[in-house]
A and B are shown apart, each in its own frame.
Chain A
Amino acid sequence: MKNLSSSLLFFVAMLFSVCSHADIETKEFRIILAPAVAKSTAGYGVIKNVGAEADTLIDISSDAAMVMLHKTEINLGMAQMIHMPNIVIEAGSELVLEPMSFHLMLSGLSAEQFKQGETITLLLEFEKAGMIEIEVPIVPAWE
C-alpha cells in the first residue's frame, strides 16, 4: 500500500513537472531528495526541442540553489564531472538528463526548502525560446 501511494505520488509529481513552452517541452523533471547533511544533489528530466530549428540552453538557475548542467563521463573506470554550458538541442531531438550522464547539479541547498514533497522553481533560459519556468518536485529516487 505504501509502495502504491509512493508510486501514485511520483506519477502525480511527474505530471506536475511537464511543461511546454513554444518549441521547447520539458517532462519528468525531478530533484533527488538528498541526505539532510548534503550540500548538493542532482536533478533529472527531459528537455525536448519540438521546433524546426536548433536552440541553445544558455542558462539554468533557481533562487533555491546554485544550478549547473553537468555531465558524468566515465573513462577507464573513472567518473568525471564536466560542466556543460551552452548546450545545443537540435530540432526534433531531446536532451535526456539521467543518472551517470547529463544532470543538473544543485548546490548550496537549503534544508528547509529541499524536503520530500516540496517543489523547486527552475528557470531554463534558451537562446531562441527565451526563459522557461518549471516547478520541479523533490522525490526520493532510490526507493
Chain B
Amino acid sequence: MLNKILTILLITLLSNVNIAKSKVVNLPILSGVGGEFTAVDSNGNTIEFNSYAGNVVVLAFGYTSCADICPFTLGYLKQLYNKLSSEEQQKVRMLFVTVDPEYDTPEHLKAFLGHFNEDFIGISGSKEQTDYIVSLYQAEYNQLSALGIPTENIRRVQPKLFEDESEAEEDTATLFSHSVSIYLVDKDGFTRSVEYTGTPKDEFSAKIKQLINE
C-alpha cells in the first residue's frame, strides 16, 4: 500500500515538473546574430543599439514602398504587440529597420509606422549603416528595380494623367528583396530567437514575456 502511494506521489511530482518545464522555452543565445550598431531612429535621433538595453527588442527588416509582405509583417507585429499588457509593452521596443534609407527618411518612417502603432520605432540612417545592421543579423537585401513604368505589360484602359513631371517622379517606387526573419533580442542585446510571421502570436508573445521576466 505504501509503495502504491509513493508511486502515485512520484508520478504526480514528475507530471508537475513536466508541466512546469513546458511553460519555459529554451532560448539560447544565437552567437553571431546581432550586435551593436549606430543608426537614426524615426524621431531623427542618432541612436546606439545598446540604448535599448534593459528592454526586449523585436526587430524586422523591410521598407515602406513594399506593398505585401512589409505591411503584413507590421500588421502581425501590431497584433503581437497588442498581446502584451501595457506594463509589458513598456519593456519592449519594436524596431523596423528600413533597407531603403534613401526613401525612408526618419519622418517618413514615423508617419508610416504610426499607422500600425505609435510606439513602433523606425530605424534608418546611411546606406553604410543599413548594410552594417543587415550584416550583423546575417540578413540580406537586394534592390530589384525602380517601378517607373518598368514593363510593357502595364497598360491602362483609362490612363492616369500626371499634371507635371514632379508628380510622375513621385509615382516611382524602388522594389527590394529582403530577409523576412523577425529577431527577438533579450535585455542584454543578445539575439535569442528568430521568428517569422508564421509563428503563432501566442507562442511569440510567450517568448517575449519570458525574456521580460528573465
Contacts and interface: CB of A to CB of B under 8 A. Distances in A.
Given A68-B154, A107-B147, A41 B112 contact: no
B42 to A, nearest CB: 12
Contacts of A79: 69, 177-180
B179 A40 contact: no
Interface in B140-156: 140, 144, 147, 149, 151, 153-156
Interface residues of B, number: 44
Given A77-B180, A85-B151, A106 B79 contact: no
Interface string B127-170: 00000000000001000100101010111111110000000001
Nearest to B170: A39
Nearest to B194: A77
B181 A77 contact: yes
Contacts of B170: 39
Contact of B158 (A38, A63, A105): A63
Contact of A85 (B153, B159, B171): B153
B144 A63 contact: no
20 contacts: A35-B112, A36-B115, A37-B111, A37-B112, A38-B64, A38-B71, A39-B65, A39-B170, A61-B156, A63-B158, A63-B159, A77-B181, A78-B177, A78-B180, A79-B180, A80-B144, A85-B153, A100-B69, A123-B157, A141-B71
B68 A72 contact: yes
Q: How large is the interface on A (under 10, 10 to 19, 20 to 34, 35 or more residues)?
A: 35 or more
A48 B58 CA distance: 39
Contact of A40 (B65, B74, B113, B116): B65
B72 interface: yes
Contacts of A66: 147, 149, 154, 156, 160, 171
A106 B66 CA distance: 10
Contacts of B69: 72, 79, 99-100
Interface in A2-47: 32, 34-42
